[in-house]
Structure 1
Amino acid sequence: MERIKGLKEYVKSKDYREALGLPTEQEEEYKMLAQGEYNINYIFEHPKTGQKLLLRVNCGSQMHLEDQIGYEFYALQLLKDSGRTPKALYVDGSKKLLDHGIMVMEYLPGKALDYHTDMKYAAECLADIHSVRIPESEKVLIRPENPLIAILEECEEMVKTYMDSPLGKDKTKQTIRDLLDQAWKKARKSDIELTYACCINTELNSSNFLIGGEGKPNYLIDWEKPLLGDPAQDLGHFLAPTTTFWKTDVILGMEEIEIFIDNYIECVGGRFDTTGLKERTKTFVEITCLRGITWCAMAWVQYQQPDKLIVNEFTYRKLEAYLSEEFLEKIEKFLEHKNV
């Protein structure tokens, strides 16, 4: 915990301990569990209840939010009845005692999703989450007016870091520019009509699922970028080659994608209108490909900075892979052949 200035003192603070029902004097031990690009997670056991808990330290916001951790906490509260997300127990986004936002939630068991064996569990999990009704009066969750355009605007913002950097390769810059131009044409021609809005995760990497297996709980964690939007956007991100390849070497084929969408609709079981869902998902798959590539381009430049707080060796190797000529050619062919 030494890497986060003031964190050791924070967990000893009166407000933190009282809110979680912890003993006045610290007895629990915090151990590093995992870190992403924007959060560092520690695991500890509540000394009174024996419950395993997760302390999440937020170190940045993809959404440029002042209270990123509060936004994530709010989404988890909305979804608590789904049975598919961790229960959030405490949040402090004030940054009064610490330069970072803090959240504590229950620790959930499970392994990362396997695209070969666990797709039905992912379908069940997403169907339950997407079926949670969001009040029409909802004002906190961000809701892009045109999600396809919003994704591409985000892509342009992210890729600017790479395009403006002298470290970026000219050929890679041109390839990404060409892919983006094609995606803009696709998005402007699209006539997607939203028939149902729900809380979507937008970052459905395999490691964000916790799979227990048959007859056991299966969850979706890491809710740092939720939106109010089309469930097809989540499905498109989940199935896109830039997503499946992130933690594995899997790129799903057309038949596998079709089967998953059919299974998902079956799991929804009429709880909301799925008219046109398959067609919308296919469009989101194509556009989402560019989100993955442009994020990698931005992150690759950031990884060259000596003062970066969170550095993950696995992530850096993947960034290199995504920006390689070989991978970008695969994406070009995927989009040209409309494998979805």
Structure 2
Amino acid sequence: MDKLEYLNRYAKTSKFRNALKIPLEYDLEFKLLAQGEYNVNYLFIHPSSGQKLLLRVNTGSQMHLDNQIDYEYNALKELFSSGRTPQVYYVDGTKKDFPFGVLVMEFLEGKPLNYLTDLKIAAECLSDIHSTKVSSDTTLISPKNLLYAMVDECENMAKVYLDSPLGDTRTKNQIKRLINYCNEKIKFEKDYDGDRHYINTELNSGNFLINGPQKNNYIIDWEKPLLGEPAQDLAHFLAPTTTFWKTDVILEKTKMYKFINDYIDLVKDRFDTSNIIDRFETYMPLTCLRGITWCSMAWIQYNQSEKILQNEFTYKKIESYLKHSFLDEIESNYFL
């Protein structure tokens, strides 16, 4: 039985119907919207209200969590007051009636972000997200040392590639060199004792829904949020390893700093941004390393057929990130 058949059966359970106030006599039609590495999104319409809803099926956890879907659900609940995220209506991470986690949220309209025209709107979205007051009973992970946590994550991902006979020797040596650079860069860093903010940690263009200036614009896909420094999000958003992922765009450094200054102006006095540029520059090489090591790990998984979800576009992009020319460009601009 495929996932959609399982889903249709699950959608007829009284637990699902009662929670969403859907009468049992109505049939639901689920249409595939998008498939990522660990999630599949379906669109359906509530038969009573006519509201468009998104049902998210989670098949795994990048964060190695036992209950990934509940983590995302709780993050979205906490962030709803920002005005930049969808409202959530239902979650089931038990996997008793369905083999995967299920999340239902409102479907939001919008186009993916265009790095050439929408940077000011992105700064508005991020300034509101980062300014949202952290809930007193938050369930989000708050790493003691954010930079060490990033490098540790990179080393764990890289290990999959470095230990595999499938990996290219030159690429392995370059990844080791980049890891050593980042370890040297942060070796005197102390545990972070500043204010914590909600950060997305995965801000590619496809995670924005843009409707235009003075309209409703959103950030979606809260699979890996943390409580951390806004500078980490800014570095991830602007890093070449992010912008190149969906669009082939690599931003000039002058545009990066223009974006950060716009962001600071939009934050106003909602929190202290006095050292955010310095912290951005600390996070940038680590962010590039994170993108590269994730691709190295995913390349091995794809070639060993370990992934439940296979995505041809993603695989081709992963291969382009591991080309010597791309790695050399990243190293010369951000690691030397």
TM-score interval for Structure 1 and Structure 2 normalised by the shorter chain: over 0.9
SS in 1 for 2:309: coil
C-alpha distance in 2, partners of 1:246/1:215? Answer: 27
C-alpha distance in 1, partners of 2:335/2:296? Answer: 22
**Residue identity matched to 1:313:** E
Which residue does 1:164 correspond to in 2? 163
C-alpha distance in 1, partners of 2:305/2:147? Answer: 34
Q: Does structure 1 conserve the Cα–Cα contact (< 8 Å) formed by 2:26 and 2:47? A: no
- Give how far 1:308 is off: 2.9
SS in 1 for 2:166: coil
Q: Does structure 1 conserve the Cα–Cα contact (< 8 Å) formed by 2:78 and 2:138? A: no
- Aligned-pair identity in percent equals 55
Q: Please give the residue correspondences for 1:8-23 in structure 2 after superposition, counting only pairs within 5 Å.
A: 8-23=8-23
C-alpha distance in 1, partners of 2:52/2:74? Answer: 21
Which residue does 2:288 correspond to in 1? 289
- Give how far 1:196 is off: 2.2
Which residue does 1:57 correspond to in 2? 57
Which residue does 1:25 correspond to in 2? 25
**Residue identity matched to 1:80:** F
Which residue does 2:307 correspond to in 1? 308
Q: Does structure 2 conserve the Cα–Cα contact (< 8 Å) formed by 1:2 and 1:8? A: no
**Residue identity matched to 2:34:** A
Per-residue CA deviations over 1:180-214 (Å, capped at 9, x if unaligned) read 10111011134685532111110001100000112
Which residue does 2:48 correspond to in 1? 48
Which residue does 1:95 correspond to in 2? 95
Q: Tell whether 2:84 aligns with 1:84.
A: yes
- Give how far 1:336 is off: 4.1
Q: Does structure 2 conserve the Cα–Cα contact (< 8 Å) formed by 1:58 and 1:100? A: yes
Per-residue CA deviations over 1:99-156 (Å, capped at 9, x if unaligned) read 2100000000111111110000000001001111114x44521111111110000001
**Residue identity matched to 2:29:** E
**Residue identity matched to 1:89:** Y
Q: Please give the residue correspondences for 1:210-249 in structure 2 after superposition, counting only pairs within 5 Å.
A: 210-249=209-248
- Give how far 1:233 is off: 0.9
Q: Tell whether 2:274 aligns with 1:275.
A: yes
Aligned CA distance change for structure 1 residues 134 and 312 (closer, same or farther; 3 Å)? same
- Give how far 1:21 is off: 1.0
Aligned CA distance change for structure 1 residues 19 and 116 (closer, same or farther; 3 Å)? same
TM-score under structure 2 normalisation? Answer: 0.97
C-alpha distance in 2, partners of 1:100/1:303? Answer: 21
- Give how far 1:4 is off: 5.3
Which residue does 1:126 correspond to in 2? 126
C-alpha distance in 1, partners of 2:146/2:26? Answer: 46
Count of residue pairs the alignment pairs up: 336
SS in 2 for 1:33: strand
> Over aligned residues, Cα RMSD in angstroms?
1.5
Aligned CA distance change for structure 1 residues 166 and 26 (closer, same or farther; 3 Å)? farther
TM-score under structure 1 normalisation? Answer: 0.95
Which residue does 1:263 correspond to in 2? 262
C-alpha distance in 1, partners of 2:285/2:74? Answer: 30
